[in-house]
Amino acid sequence: MGHPVLRTKARALSPADVRTAELQTLIDDMIDTMVEYRGVGLAAPQVHEGIRLFVGDLGARDEEDADAEPMVLINPEISPVGPEMVEDWEGCLSIPDIRGKVPRYRDIRLRALNRKGERIEMRAKNFSARIIQHETDHLDGVLFFDRMNGFESLTFLEEYSRYWAKREDDEEA
């Protein structure tokens, strides 16, 4: 946090841009970085590249898709499917060791290019929809705490683990 690229709207890529060796190397490096830091998503502005690209582990909480390759999404366009929003915890590799509750649409429709420059369309719900919305925000210069309704839940990761996660586990039991 603090680098100007994180607060700047990223530029779109053409299908020809996508097929360059340099961009394919960047994609591979971003996937390696996301995995190394145990993230579920990483947008190009987070590695100081002002382009509309992110990688995401959209099967992160789904045991059936646990071995799925991370998705590469370029020039994403999202639209909500219905008005339902859910407030849940988020963190960010650009704001290490901080968590906060963020409202997001539960169900979205996504249009984007894949890493081959091909147009894809999909629907995402719950945690996958949250990842896509969070990473698309990065492409628009928005950080997760900009979306929070208030800062009452903003907490350090250690305190989240100590107090908030325990409280929610107790409520679910």
Q: Choose the catalytic residue: 69, 87, 121, 135.
A: 135
**22 in catalytic set:** no
Query: Which residues 6+ apart lie within 8 Å of 35 measured at CB?
Result: 70
Q: For 38-101, give the DSSP string.
A: T-SEEEGGGGT--BSEEEE-TTTT-GGGTTPPPEEEEEEEEEESSS-EEEEEEEETTEEEEEEE
Kindly state the tokens that stand for 109: 């429709």
* One-letter identity of residue 2: G
Give the C-alpha distances (Å, rounded to integers) separating 100 from 21, 104, 123: 37, 12, 25
Residues involved in catalysis: 135
